[in-house]
Structure formats: structure tokens, C-alpha cells
């Protein structure tokens, strides 16, 4: 259940940040677009182990003994690391989809008095919603199967029935203590993955109904 919650929260954050990043990168030129482009690519070249260690060392030294110490509340930093690590998988498809939207639609919205934010979510977002749905499913799968940062921030020896751990450290613990339990670990992973995909599709369907998008 922890994995499902973390995945859904991180995927929603990835969707929001990814759309803002893609829109700003495609619609604003100059140094802003270049900086956003570089920041959106950076997580792909930084190993997850490095991100996990950096998060743990930074926030443990700053918030040692506090409620937000990663020793006591690792789920906060799990969601943060998942969001940063998998953001590029949402930004790239959305950039490609935004290229297909004529600028005249947005210019008409501006001429009618709409602001940038309203135009982004009222014009651009519904037109690329199918790409958003695909990106949501893909990022959910990547988030759920994240291994390196999960093991660094959780640590398999600390995993127990009451520990806020995602599925990957649990599987690591099973395989460390008894490699013959690989069939049980595989079943857990497949079941959790199926739940995440189904929930992602349900959320996409509900959002399409709210936006009143036509069905294909």
C-alpha cells in the first residue's frame, strides 16, 4: 500500500511540474528555456544512489532529531527523489505534444483576456491530455520500480511490517534472507504494478470526464 500511495503522489507532482516545465521550455525562449531544458535532463545523468545519499546527508544533518528527519519520515524524501528522478519521462513527451498545438489558439486566448496560467490549463492541457495519460502511466511504472534511491533512503535491514517502506526494499530483504523467495517477490511486484497501472488509468479517465474530452 505504501508503494501505491508514494507512486500516485509522486506521479501527480511529476505531472504538474512536468507540464509547467514543458510549457515554459516550448513557449519561452532565451535563457529561461535553456535553463529549464538543462534542469529537466539533469536527473537522467545523475545516478539514483548519488541522489539518495545527497538527500539523506543533507536533510539528516539539517533536521537531525526533528520530525522531518529522514530517519523518522523517509517517505517525504522518497516522494521528492521519485519526483526529481522521473520528471524527464514526463517532460519529453509533453514537449513533443506541445509542438503540435498552433500558437494561434493561445494567441486567441490571450486576446480574449485570459492569462498565461488559464491558457496553459484551459487550452494547452486538454489538447495534449492523451499524451499526458500515457506519460502518467509510464512515470508511474518507473516510480514504482525505483530501486537505488529507495534502498538508500530506506535501507533493507530497517524494513518491517510497520516501516513506511515501498516495495523494492521489501523485495531486497526477502532475497537477502532467502533467495528461494524470488517467486513471492515477483508476485508482490506484479500485483503492485498492476494496481498502480489500473489506478493511473482510472485517474486519467476521471480527468478526461472532468475536462469533457471526446473519447477515441
Residues 86 and 84: their CA atoms lie apart, in Å, by: 6
| pLDDT one-digit tens code per residue, 23-36 | 888 777 677 778 88
Strand, coil or helix: 49: helix
In terms of phi and psi (left: phi > 0; alpha: psi -120 to 50; beta: otherwise), the region of 65 is left
| pLDDT one-digit tens code per residue, 4-62 | 888 888 888 998 888 888 888 877 767 777 888 788 888 888 888 888 888 888 888 88
Q: Please, what are the domains in the chain? A: 2-211 (1.10.3720.10)
| Of residues 123 and 156, more confidently modeled | 123
Q: Which three cell numbers stand for residue 56?
A: 539523506
The pLDDT mean for the chain works out to 79
Q: What is the reported pTM?
A: 0.78
Amino acid at each position: 500500500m505504501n508503494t501505491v500511495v508514494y507512486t500516485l503522489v509522486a506521479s501527480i507532482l511529476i505531472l504538474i511540474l512536468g507540464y509547467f516545465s514543458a510549457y515554459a521550455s516550448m513557449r519561452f525562449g532565451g535563457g529561461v528555456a535553456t535553463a529549464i531544458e538543462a534542469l529537466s535532463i539533469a536527473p537522467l545523468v545523475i545516478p539514483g544512489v548519488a541522489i539518495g545519499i545527497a538527500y539523506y546527508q543533507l536533510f539528516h544533518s539539517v533536521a537531525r532529531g526533528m520530525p522531518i528527519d529522514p530517519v523518522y519520515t523517509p517517505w517525504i524524501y522518497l516522494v521528492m527523489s521519485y519526483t526529481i528522478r522521473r520528471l524527464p519521462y514526463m517532460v519529453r513527451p509533453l514537449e513533443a505534444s506541445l509542438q503540435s498545438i498552433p500558437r494561434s489558439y493561445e494567441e486567441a486566448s490571450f486576446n480574449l483576456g485570459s492569462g498565461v496560467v488559464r491558457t496553459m490549463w484551459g487550452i494547452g492541457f486538454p489538447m495534449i491530455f492523451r499524451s499526458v495519460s500515457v506519460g502518467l502511466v509510464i512515470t508511474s511504472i518507473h516510480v514504482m520500480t525505483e530501486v537505488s534511491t529507495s534502498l538508500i533512503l530506506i535501507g533493507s535491514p530497517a524494513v518491517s511490517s510497520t516501516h513506511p517502506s515501498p516495495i523494492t526494499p521489501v523485495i531486497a530483504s526477502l532475497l537477502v534472507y532467502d533467495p528461494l523467495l524470488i517467486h513471492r517477490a515477483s508476485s508482490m511486484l506484479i500485483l503492485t504494478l498492476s494496481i498502480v497501472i489500473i489506478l493511473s488509468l482510472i485517474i486519467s479517465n476521471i480527468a478526461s470526464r472532468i475536462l469533457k474530452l471526446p473519447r477515441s
